[in-house]
Chains A and B, each alone.
Chain A
């Protein structure tokens, strides 16, 4: 019968009155831990998927929506831009742009987005590694992300029809057109690539061809566009000649389709500190029908907006945490009054004041540790449940089965609260006057 098991027995024999403090404490710990988990994983996802993209160029609309759509694939496109307008930025000899990856969106399969793009997307942005098969080569070939393959149980050689939009909607399946064929599957990388279906931009046009034939560009309009490009950047027809020569096969085919449209371009600068690169976005916004947005800026804006809510939740969690500390204090204090004779008796049996002090402290710490464990288990179960919900609505994979070093700090915090809550009752216990207490009978 050591002091620890005595503390344990005191708590368990008094379980009901300790229950409230325990539940409160677990709730506080759980909420804080859940917030930490969520925050960490959301941050990680967004950071990883920033993929060093400096600028996104797309159709005019909400810049945030454009970023969410083209980089995180959780929103609808703002519209399309013509290849004619986009083509100066796809020039490999552009003085400022190191890489311009075209994206053609608009279709999905069972909630997973079909992206028409070039090899640079998996290669340079997300460091995608093929688990099996090859990258797409011909139109209607697709290479799919790991999450897509796993969730939809797609294998090499499988075929499917896409549907319009991001919703899984039977009404809009393009079943009268051609079907996609899986030629490769990426290994999981923890990026947005996991939940994409990649193909050529031409494939997207093929699927959509029968419903929306893009109108032939008007002479005047084309000239207008071009004029703007010209004003913003030093692109001439001479350059376009070079472009077709140097561009990879796939991009060359794309650039020539001047009357077609894509959704956006993901841009990586040659130098992030070049002042001309910094004003490129503004030039596009002011002088063209397109829109340019800085991912880091837009995401910061989004996080600031969400941050207020998160801060409120954090405050609530902290308040619960401290109230639970108070509740531990009160229940220890109450149980101490009832156990005064027992404590005096322990003194009679030879226990020192220090022993009584440590007994009560130990009870506080035990409560804190149990509350902490329950809280941590709850938060991880909660995170796993939340991950299911988020997967359904965003196709992003989160998990509850990851642990962070912050949880260790949280344990120290919990122990500190348990200690502080038990301090005054413990001092009180160590000061128990044996004679008085026992004389009262």
Chain B
């Protein structure tokens, strides 16, 4: 479902990053662990088609991601990859509902208000439909970000340090929601983190760098 082969990345002339091959199946949840500077976020961006690797391939739902043209890649990303960032970013001019509707539209799907409401309710923020994203707490924002990542039923959900800005209670809740919802949508969930709180929650782990424990 999500697989990589011989991925290498280099920033200009600096040290090249060598990534281990990955293979994840639908419905599985994975942790991607590593020291800061080990290239976790870089790998996530390569997997999400936000960066181009120097060597190697990324397969998502049997599509060679980096063989796509730029515009096709954008469209493919919108449809098949949900990305959650460390800080939840939104279009500030829009409400929660409009942000999610935009995600549907940019992916080329029709807007389904029903889908938006169901998702928000599953994430326990059904009452925030018409709120501006700036009015939400951080925990709520991260949940809306999860909703946005899930909205188009992607094959892969990539989460970059989704819990680092959250307290313990919120952290637990958000991760659990993320895991159950990803499973419900039958998507691969890959969480990049150095958050020790998550280590014991996931059996599948990938280590980056020499820090293999």
Q: A residues bordering B, Cβ < 8 Å?
A: 1-2, 6, 9-10, 12-14, 341-342, 344-355, 434-435, 438-439, 441
Interface pair A9/B83, CB less than 8 Å apart: no
| A356 to B: closest C-beta gap in Å | 10
Question: Is there an interface contact between B106 and A350, defined as CB atoms closer than 8 Å?
Answer: yes
B98 at the interface (CB under 8 A from A): yes
Interfacial chain B residues near A345, Cβ < 8 Å: 89-91
User: Are B74 and A1 within 8 A (Cβ)?
Assistant: no
Q: Which residues of B contact A346 (CB under 8 A)?
A: 91, 102, 106
Besides A10-B93, A348-B77, A353-B71, 16 more A-B contacts (Cβ < 8 Å) are A1-B105, A6-B91, A6-B102, A9-B98, A345-B89, A345-B91, A346-B91, A347-B50, A347-B74, A350-B77, A350-B78, A352-B74, A354-B71, A435-B51, A438-B50, A439-B41
Q: CB within 8 Å of A: which of B60-111?
A: 70-71, 74-75, 77-79, 83, 85-87, 89-94, 98, 101-103, 105-108, 111
Cα of A347 to Cα of B76 in the assembled complex, Å = 11
The CA of A9 and the CA of B86, in the complex, are separated in Å by 26
Residue B26, interface by CB 8 Å = no
What 0/1 pattern do residues 138 to 162 of B give for CB contact below 8 A with A?
A: 0000000000100000000000000
The answer to whether B90 and A349 have CB atoms under 8 Å apart is: no
Majority SS at the chain A contact face: helix
How far, in whole Å, are A12 and B90 apart by their CA atoms in the complex?
17
Contact B92 A350, beta carbon cutoff 8 Å? no
Verify A350–B75 contact, CB threshold 8 A. yes
Tell me, in angstroms, the Cα distance from A351 to B93 when the chains sit together: 17
How far is the CB of B58 from the nearest CB of chain A, in Å? 14
A residues in contact with B105, CB < 8 Å: 1-2
Partner of A349, one of B78, B93, B98: B78
The 7 closest A-B pairs by CB, nearest first: A350-B78, A13-B93, A350-B106, A435-B50, A9-B93, A350-B107, A349-B106
Give the CA-CA distance A342 to B86 in the complex, in Å.
Answer: 15
- CB-nearest residue of chain A to B98: A1
Closest to B95 in A: A9
Interface flag for B194 (CB, 8 Å): no
Chain A nearest Cβ from B161, distance in angstroms: 9
Contact A435 B45 (CB under 8 A): yes
Q: Sample 19 A-B pairs with CB under 8 A, ordered by A number.
A: A1-B101, A1-B102, A6-B91, A6-B93, A9-B98, A342-B91, A344-B89, A345-B90, A346-B106, A347-B74, A348-B48, A350-B75, A350-B79, A350-B107, A352-B70, A352-B71, A353-B71, A434-B50, A438-B89
Query: Do B85 and A349 have beta carbons less than 8 Å apart?
Result: no
- Contact pick for B89, options A2, A341, A439, CB 8 Å: A341
Chain B residues positioned under 8 Å from A352 (CB to CB): 70-71, 74-75
Question: Are B78 and A441 closer than 8 Å at their CB atoms?
Answer: no
Query: B102's closest neighbor in chain A, by CB?
Result: A1
Task: Tell whether A12 pairs with B78 under 8 Å between CB atoms, given A348-B83, A352-B70, A435-B50.
Answer: no
Mark out the residues of chain B between 33 and 65 whose CB falls within 8 Å of any chain A CB in the assembled complex. 41, 45, 48, 50-51
Min distance, Cβ A15 to any Cβ of chain B, angstroms: 10
With A6-B102, A438-B50 in contact, is A13–B71 under 8 Å at CB? no
| A381 → chain B closest CB, angstroms | 31
Task: Give A295 to B86 CA distance when docked, in angstroms.
Answer: 80
